[in-house]
Amino acid sequence: MIGHRLLLCVEDRDSRILPVEEQNGYYGIRFSSEIEMVPDDIVDVIGTVMEETGIAEEYMVSVEQCQKEGIVYSFEVRKRKQSSIVPCTGRILPKDCYIVWIRILDDIPLPKMIQPAAKKNNFNGYYLLYIIPVFLLTFLLFILIRKRKKQEKEEHILSIGNTRFDTRQLNLLTKIGPVELSHKEAQLLLVLYSNVNQAVERQTLLREVWDDQGDYVGRTLDVFISKLRKKFDADPRVKIESVRGVGYKLMVV
């Protein structure tokens, strides 16, 4: 899932994800061809997958070039204590052969296996008096939760031209199918959408999406704008225009 989403971030739908490797507790993701990587994409994709799947709350990520020794990018996520390694942004990793190493840092012990109870020859019918109500209550809760999720899904969908923006699943619902967005792409689109048909200054976008990081390279903003433009290519009613000397404008007609 992580490899697939990293490829989508660079508009690569042809490269294959090679079998995941395991070395001394590190899991490595390789690709069949060279790709360009944006640090923001790596942080967002891995963080989102970890949260969605519940694989881990604490982990370390490092990116290496296939043919060279040494790490070209790394960061660590810790929940219970302050980490000395924090994600940095702005430096785009040029097109090359990379391997993404992930190490799970959670030290929560695995639950003990439940030993099967000794077999009994007799059956107590009174158990049915407890099992049936519990089953019915569980089924009712399942129906209510499913109904609630359906309502919440509709509440988190925005209409932009002929496209629907699912702010929870982070994708665009188009005529040709869903188009996935990274976390930063979704944040950027939300800021532009909140000022639809109005120019938004570059500094405002950097502050709202990237927390106004002083060492942030402005070219990365242009890269993300370019990605959003491509994902709206199929919708003639939506355009993201450059406003000279100001920033960008989301135009919806």
Question: Is residue 28, in this structure, part of any structural domain at all?
Answer: yes
* Cross-strand bridge partners of residue 248: 200, 242
Question: Is residue 145, in this structure, part of any structural domain at all?
Answer: no
Last residue of a domain, one of 104, 123, 139: 104
Confidence (pTM): 0.49
151-181 residue pLDDT tens? 655 678 889 999 999 988 899 998 888 999 9
Question: Is residue 201, in this structure, part of any structural domain at all?
Answer: yes
> Which residue range forms the structural domain that includes residue 240?
157-252
92-112 residue pLDDT tens? 888 889 999 999 987 644 444
**What parts of the chain have a pLDDT lower than 50?**
83-84, 108-118, 215
Quick check: 241 and 249 in contact, CB under 8 A?
A: yes
Longest Cα separation, the chain = 83
Give the C-alpha separation, 97 to 185, whole Å: 24
β-sheet with 247-252: strand ranges across: 199-201, 247-252, 238-243
Q: What is the DSSP letter of 53?
A: H
In this structure, are 98 and 178 located in the same domain? no
Give the C-alpha separation, 240 to 192, whole Å: 9
